[in-house]
Amino acid sequence: MKLLSIIHPWKWLLPVCFTLLFQTAFAQEFAHAGEYWDAILGEHNKVTTKSLDYISKSVHSENDRVIERKRLAVINQLDASLAIVSKLGPFKGNDRFRKEALAVLKEMKNVYTIEFKQAGELQRSSKSSYVALERYYKTQDRAEAKLERASKRFGNASRYFAKQNKIKLIEKNDTDDPIAKMGEVNRYTRKLYLIEFKVAKANAGFLDALKARKASLMERNRKKVLVASKEALGKLKGVKDFYGDKSYKKATEQLVRFRYTFAKKEYTELIKVTKNKKPSRKEVTRANAIIQELNQKAEQYTNQFNLAGRALRQKYTPKK
């Protein structure tokens, strides 16, 4: 029994000694600042790659399950990278770079575990109303803005460490940051989509009333289309081109102006025919011609609008 009591404490001491020796050996692996810098940068790059993969999939795919898997993949990578970076010691007594990297990774994890998850939940009901879509877009914008700030923070810390340790870097412009560029194009396209969406909802109200043959409701919604269209066209005047690309703004203006034009003239004709309990053959023929033209042009301008928006997003979002 005495022998066992003597041996037993060493069972606890041996792992402690081994851990201390391992940590010392691990720290000695980074004899050069470049190696230490590469180790931290490598983990950040792994997370960035997964992050870009998620954002790309959210743009190019409409499959909610696939997008959710990509979000969880980012979180898994963040957990792995946090574990690795947290085990690194300071480089020659300086722990600023490592601590900044940890702070950035933790901020990114918060964004992916909380805000992007919340955005995904809001997306399911985003098309139900203008307010719902606006709430969803604002959540996405906030999340992406935090990722951009985190990316810049890591970049600043990385450059500072490199400067302090005389590591030569190839400087890139802020516009070369893929996360920042994707965030910027997403905000731009969302802004334009939201402007048109308000007009589209009012227009849908008119079409529903037309199907129900309720003239008074048609008139109320026609006026809503006019008000929403005027407001939209006013807002569009203040929207600049996206780095010289005018396609999406132009497509938005065309769609809004088309709705405005029809609401001003053709919709009034349809209301008049609907009010008439016994319309003439000429009136019915004219109403059918208006509806046919409405369907054709609505499809044409809506397709142009959707294609222009998708093309602009995909131009700055690499497909994975």
- Give the pLDDT confidence of 184-213 residue by residue, as tens digits: 999 999 999 999 999 999 999 999 999 999
| Residue with token string 């969880």 | 72
The torsion angles phi and psi of 166, rounded to 5 degrees, stand at 55, 45
- Per-residue model confidence as pLDDT tens digits over 135-144: 999 999 999 9
Whether residue 27 has pLDDT greater than 60: no
**What pLDDT is stored for residue 126 in this prediction?**
86
pLDDT reported for residue 16: 35
pTM score, two decimals?
0.80
Cβ contacts of 273 within 8 Å, gap of 6 or more = 279, 283, 284, 286, 287
Whole-number Å distance between alpha carbons of 82 and 7:
37
Q: Is the pLDDT of residue 28 over 50?
A: no
| Per-residue pLDDT at 320 | 57
Name the DSSP letter for residue 93.
T
Question: Of 56-60, 113-117, 218-222, 312-316, where does mean pLDDT reach its minimum?
Answer: 56-60
Predicted local confidence at residue 24, as pLDDT: 41
pLDDT of residue 181: 86
- pLDDT at residue 229 above 60? yes
Q: Which of 5-14, 100-109, 159-168, 306-315 has the lowest mean pLDDT?
A: 5-14
Q: What is the 3-state secondary structure (H, E, C) of 229-293?
A: HHHHHHHHHCCCCECCECHHHHHHHHHHHHHHHHHHCHHHHHHHHHHCCCCCHHHHHHHHHHHHH
Q: Is the pLDDT confidence value at 39 over 60?
A: yes
- The one-letter amino acid code at 100 reads E
CB 312 within 8 A of CB 248: yes
Residues 6 or more apart in contact with residue 129 via CB below 8 angstroms: 201
Question: Cα angle vertex 258, ends 241, 231, to 5°?
Answer: 65
The burial class, CB within 10 Å (0-12 / 13-18 / 19+), for 292 is exposed
Task: Give percent of the chain above pLDDT 90.
Answer: 70
Sorting pLDDT into bands at 50, 70 and 90, what band is 9?
very low
For residue 75, what pLDDT band results from cuts at 50, 70 and 90?
Answer: very high
Q: What angle do CA 207, 212, 215 make, to 5 degrees?
A: 80
- pLDDT-based confidence at 18, cuts 50/70/90? very low
What average pLDDT does the structure give for the chain?
Answer: 87
Examine the pLDDT at 222 and tell me if it is beyond 90: yes
Identify the pLDDT of residue 59: 73
Q: How far apart are CA 135 and CA 153, in angstroms?
A: 27
Contacts of 151 (CB under 8 A, 6+ apart): 48, 104, 177, 179, 180
pLDDT tier, 176 (very low <50, low <70, confident <90, very high otherwise): low
pLDDT band for 124, please (50, 70, 90 cuts): confident
Place 172 in a pLDDT band, splitting at 50, 70 and 90.
low
276 or 124: which leads in pLDDT? 276
Name the residue ranges covered by the structural domains of the chain.
33-168, 191-315
Report yes or no: 73 and 86 within 8 Å, Cβ to Cβ.
Answer: no
